[in-house]
Structure 1
Amino acid sequence: MNLTIEIEQEEDGRFIAEVIDFPGVLAYGQTREEAFVRVQALALRVLADKLEHGEVTHSSS
């Protein structure tokens, strides 16, 4: 699974990263890398929750 992550710098200097595929999944960091790592971890938690609740379907290729 590939996730699209967008990172922008806020006016206060912090970075915000957002996973486009999961609305509302975003994280702040003091650096681009920190924001990136935090949003990846959050996306994995959201994905795990969706899997546990049967919300994710898969297709066989």
Structure 2
Amino acid sequence: MELYLDAKETELLMRILDHSLDEIRREIHHTDHAAFKATLKADQELMQKIAAKLKAPAAMGI
């Protein structure tokens, strides 16, 4: 799947991801349930990968 975003769309998506990553870090820190914590950590990792993909073109000046 390919998705093309303009600069404003990319910026908004990055802000949303950054906010979500902050929230998920807090949730991971505060949960005691191991299975739920594992799910949150997997979600966090996936969000970090998406954020890295979004940042890569910006770093290249695209």
Select the structure with the greater relative contact order (CA < 8 A; seq sep ≥ 6). 2
Q: TM-score, normalised by structure 1?
A: 0.41
Instruction: Select the structure of larger CA radius of gyration.
Output: 2
Q: Quick check: which one's helix share is greater? A: 2
